[in-house]
Chains A and B, each alone.
Chain A
Amino acid sequence: MRVALGLRAGFLSLALLAAMLLVWQIAVGGTAKTQPMDPEYAALMGATATTGRSAMPGPLDVGATIVKHLKNPFYDHGPNDKGLGIQLAYSVGRVALGYGLAVLVAIPVGFLIGMSPLASRVLDPFIQILKPVSPLAWMPLALYTIKDSTLSSIFVIFICSLWPMLINTVFGVASTRREWLNVARTLEVGPVRRAFTVILPAAAPTILTGMRISIGIAWLVIVAAEMLVGGTGIGYFVWNEWNNLSITNVITSILVIGLVGMVLDQLLARAQALVTFPE
Chain B
Amino acid sequence: MTPAMSTLLPFSRRRATTPTMAESEKRIAIEGIARRYPAPGGRTTTIFENLWLPIRRGEFVCMVGHSGCGKTTVLNILAGLEAPSEGTVIVDGQEIAGPSLDRAVIFQGHALLPWRTVLGNVAYAVSSRWRKAGRAEVEARAMKAIATVGLAGSEHKRPAELSGGMKQRVGIARALSIDPKILLMDEPFSALDALTRGTLQDEVRRICMETGQTVFMITHDVDEAIYLADRIVLMTNGPHARVAEIVENPLPKTRDRTQLHHAPGYYALRNHLMDFLVTRSKSLAGEGLPPGYDPRNPPVVRPALSEGDAAAITATGPDVRRA
Q: Measured between alpha carbons, how far is A275 from B115 in the docked complex, in Å?
A: 8
B124 at the interface (CB under 8 A from A): yes
The answer on a CB contact under 8 Å between A186 and B115 is no
Give Cα A179–Cα B101 distance, bound, in whole angstroms.
16
Chain B residues touching A, majority SS: loop
Check if A8 is an interface residue, CB within 8 A of chain B. Answer: no
Contacts of A201 in B (CB 8 A): 113, 115
Are A183 and B107 also in contact (CB < 8 A) when A278-B114, A278-B158, A278-B160 are? yes
Query: Are A186 and B103 in contact, with the CB atoms below 8 A?
Result: yes
| Closest residue on chain A to residue B178 by CB atoms | A187
In the complex, whether B128 has a CB less than 8 A from a CB of chain A is yes
Does A182 lie within 8 Å of B114, measured CB to CB?
A: no
Let me know if B105 and A186 touch, CB within 8 A: yes
Q: Are B114 and A187 in contact (CB under 8 A)?
A: no
B99 within 8 A of A: yes
What separation, in Å, do the CA atoms of A122 and B155 have in the docked complex?
45
0/1 interface trace, chain A 217-255, chain B, CB 8 Å (1 if under): 000000000000000000000000000000000000000
Q: Complex Cα distance A198/B178, Å?
A: 19
A75 within 8 A of B: no
Contacts of A40 in B (CB 8 A): none
Q: Which residues of A contact B101 (CB under 8 A)?
A: 186-188
Q: Could you tell me the distance in whole angstroms from the C-beta of A88 to the nearest C-beta in chain B?
A: 36
Q: In the complex, what residue of chain A is closest to B125 when comparing beta carbons?
A: A187
Contact present for A182 and B115 (CB under 8 Å): no
A185-B99, A278-B160 given as contacts; is B129 within 8 A of A179 (CB)?
no
- A179–B107 CB distance below 8 A: yes
Check B114–A186 contact: CB distance below 8 A: no
- Contact of A183 with B115 in the complex, beta carbons under 8 Å: no
Cβ proximity bits B95-109 to A, threshold 8 Å, 1 near / 0 not? 000111101110101
Mark contacts of A167-208 with chain B using CB atoms, 8 A cut-off: 1 yes-contact digit, 0 otherwise. 000000000010110110111110000000110011000000
A279 beta carbon closer than 8 Å to chain B: yes
Indicate with 1 or 0, residue by residue over B63-87, a CB within 8 angstroms of chain A CB atoms.
0000000000000000111000000
* Interface pair A197/B160, CB less than 8 Å apart: no
Given contacts A197-B124, A277-B158, contact A186 B113 (CB under 8 A): no
- Bound together, the chains give a CA A55 to CA B109 distance in angstroms of 68
In the bound complex, how far is the Cα of B125 from the Cα of A189, in angstroms? Answer: 9
B114 contacts A188, CB within 8 Å? Answer: no
Q: Quick check: is B323 within 8 A (CB to CB) of the other chain?
A: no
Cβ of A198: which chain B residues have Cβ within 8 Å of it?
113
Provide the residues of chain A in CB contact with B310, threshold 8 Å: none
A-contact 0/1 string along B121-141, CB 8 Å cutoff: 000110011000000000000
Residues in A with CB closer than 8 Å to B99 are 185-188
Instruction: Give the chain B neighbours of A189 by CB distance below 8 A.
Output: 128
Complex interface: chain B residues within 8 A of A188 (CB): 99-101, 128
* Contact assessment for B128 and A180 in the assembled complex, using a CB-CB cutoff below 8 Å: no
Residues of chain B within 8 A of A278, CB atoms compared: 114, 158, 160
Q: Is the CB of A179 within 8 A of B115?
A: no
**Contact of B178 with A277 in the complex, beta carbons under 8 Å:** no
Decide if A277 touches B115 in the complex (CB within 8 Å).
yes
Which of A183, A198, A275, A278 has the largest number of chain B CB atoms within 10 A?
Answer: A183
Asked if B147 CB lies within 8 Å of chain A CBs, one says no
Chain A proximity of B302: nearest CB distance (Å): 34
Decide if B111 is an interface residue (CB 8 Å cutoff).
yes
CA–CA, A185 and B107, complex, Å: 13
- With a cutoff of 8 Å between Cβ atoms, the chain B residues found around residue A275 in the complex are 115
Minimal beta-carbon separation of A179 from chain B (angstroms): 4
Shortest beta-carbon distance, A274 to chain B, in Å? Answer: 11
- Complex: A148 Cα to B267 Cα, angstroms: 87
How far, in whole Å, are A278 and B113 apart by their CA atoms in the complex? 11
Give every chain B residue within 8 A of A183 (Cβ-Cβ).
Answer: 105, 107, 111, 113
Residues in A with CB closer than 8 Å to B178 are 187
Which one of B107, B124, B158, B160 lies within 8 Å of A187 (CB-CB)? B124
Known contacts A186-B79, A197-B124; is-contact A279 B111 (Cβ 8 Å): no
Known A-B contacts A187-B124, A277-B160; the reply to A182 vs B113 at CB < 8 A is no
A101 to B229, CA, bound (A): 59
Q: A276 — nearest CB in chain B belongs to which residue?
A: B115
A201 nearest in chain B by CB position: B115
Chain B residues with CB under 8 A of A186: 79-81, 99-101, 103-105
Whether A182 pairs with B107 at a CB distance below 8 angstroms is: yes
| 7 A-B pairs with the lowest CB-CB distances in the bound complex, closest first | A278-B160, A187-B128, A179-B111, A277-B115, A277-B114, A186-B99, A201-B115
Chain A interfacial positions (CB closer than 8 Å to B): 177, 179-180, 182-183, 185-189, 197-198, 201-202, 275, 277-279
14 A-B pairs (CB sep. < 8 Å): A179-B111, A180-B111, A182-B105, A183-B105, A185-B99, A187-B128, A188-B128, A198-B113, A201-B113, A275-B115, A277-B114, A277-B160, A278-B158, A278-B160
A180-B111, A188-B101, A277-B114 are known contacts; what are 17 more A-B pairs with Cβ within 8 Å? A177-B111, A182-B107, A183-B107, A185-B99, A186-B80, A186-B81, A186-B100, A187-B101, A187-B124, A187-B128, A189-B128, A197-B124, A201-B113, A202-B115, A277-B158, A278-B114, A278-B160
